[in-house]
Amino acid sequence: MTAFSTEIKIAGVTFKNPVMNASGTFGNGREYAELLDLSKLGAIVTKGVSLTPWEGNPTPRVAETPSGMLNAIGLQNPGIDKFIDRELPFLEEVRSSGTRVIVNVCGHSVDEYVSVIERLSDKPVDMLEINVSCPNVKEGAIAFGQDPDMLRDVTKACKSAAKQPVIMKLTPNVTDIKALAKAAEDGGADAISLINTITGMKIDVEKKRFLLANRTGGLSGPAIHPVAVRMVYEAAHAVDIPVIGMGGVISGNDALEMILAGASAVAVGTATFHDPDAMIRIIGEIGEYMEKHAVTDINELVGAVS
Ligand SMILES: Cc1cc2nc3c(=O)[nH]c(=O)nc-3n(C[C@H](O)[C@H](O)[C@H](O)COP(=O)(O)O)c2cc1C
C-alpha cells in the first residue's frame, strides 16, 4: 500500500482533501451530520446567504430531468444575522475537526454582497464563495456574472471588504468562460469555482404547462458534467489562481476528470440528493485511484491531462 497525501492548498488555506459539497445541495451540513462523518470532508460550503431574508421562488421549484434535475429555488435563506446566530456555531464545531468552512454569499447589489462580507469578517469562516451566477434571481446577480467588466468590479468590491480569501463562482451561461475567469482574476479573486447550473426549461405536454413555476431553472447533475469539465479546463488554462470544479460529479472518476482538467478541488452537489454518502465514497475512490496509479501527492494530478 502506497502512502499518499490528498492535502491541497487554496489561497493559503489547507484542505485535508479536495472534496467539498456544492452550495445549496447540503443545507449547512447539520441535516447530514447523522448520515456521514462531516470531519472527513475537505470543506463544507453553506447555502447562499444574503443580507436580508429571501423567500425564494414559488413552487414547484424542482423537476427531474434525464440524468439531472432543474431547480429554481431562488436562493431562499434566512439572511446573514440568523445565519450567524443559528448556523455558524454548528459549523464552528465541524471546523475544529479541520474541515474548512466556506460561506456562499449572494446579493441583489454590490452593496448587499459587501454588507454580508463585512458581517463575516470576524467570524470563524475560512473562505467566502461569491455567487455571481445564480440563474434564478431576477435582479442583478446573473448580470454581474455574465459581464466581464461588472464581474471585475464586483470582485474588487468583495475583495476590499473581505478578511477571508474570496472565491468567485462563475456561471456557465456565457459564450466565453475564459473572459469571465480572467475578469475575476483581474478583480483580485483568490480562486474561482465553476460551474453553477445551466439554464433550462421543462414542459408538461399533457397539461401544456411549465413544470417549474419560475418557467426556467438551473440544470445540474450528470447531464452537465462534460460541459463542466470543458469549462473547468478552459478556465484553469486562462488564469493562474486555483479553480474549484463542479457540475455533475457523482464518482471518484468524475472528480478526477475535474482535477486532471485543472481543478485543485471538487464540489459535489446533486449526487448527494440520491446518495447522501456520495462525498465520502468519492474521497475513497480518489484514494483507490492514487494507490492504483502510485500517486503520492494529489497535487501531481492537478491539470495533468495531456
Ligand atoms: C437545489 C440546488 C440549490 C443550489 N443552491 C445554490 C446556492 O445557494 N448557491 C450557489 O452558488 N449555487 C447553488 N447551486 C448550484 C450548485 O452549487 C452547483 O454549482 C451545481 O448544482 C452544479 O453541481 P452538481 O451538478 O454537482 O449539482 C444549487 C444547486 C441546486 C441543485
Q: Could you tell me the residue ranges of all domains in the chain?
A: 8-55+73-202+217-301
Position 251 confidence tier, pLDDT thresholds 50, 70, 90: very high
Active-site entry in 22, 51, 63, 134: 134
Helix or strand run (H / E) with residue 44: strand 43-45
pTM reported for the whole predicted model: 0.97
Grid cell 497535487 in the structure block, residue: 299
Query: What does DSSP assign to residue 129?
Result: E
CA distance 106 to 146: 15
CA distance 69 to 251: 17
Superfamily of domain 8-55+73-202+217-301: Aldolase class I (3.20.20.70)
> Is position 106 annotated as part of the catalytic site?
no
User: Taking residues 44-62, what's their average pLDDT?
Assistant: 94
Beta carbons of 183 and 156 less than 8 angstroms apart? no
196: CA distance to ligand 1 center in Å? 6
The ligand 1 atom nearest the CA atom of 249: 26
61: CA distance to ligand 1 center in Å? 13
Pairing of strands 8-10, 209-210: unpaired
pLDDT reported for residue 126? 98
Taking CB atoms and a 6 Å cutoff, what residues make up the pocket around ligand 1?
Answer: 22-25, 47-48, 71, 73, 75, 104, 131, 134, 169, 196-197, 220-221, 224, 246-249, 268-271
Position 145 confidence tier, pLDDT thresholds 50, 70, 90: confident
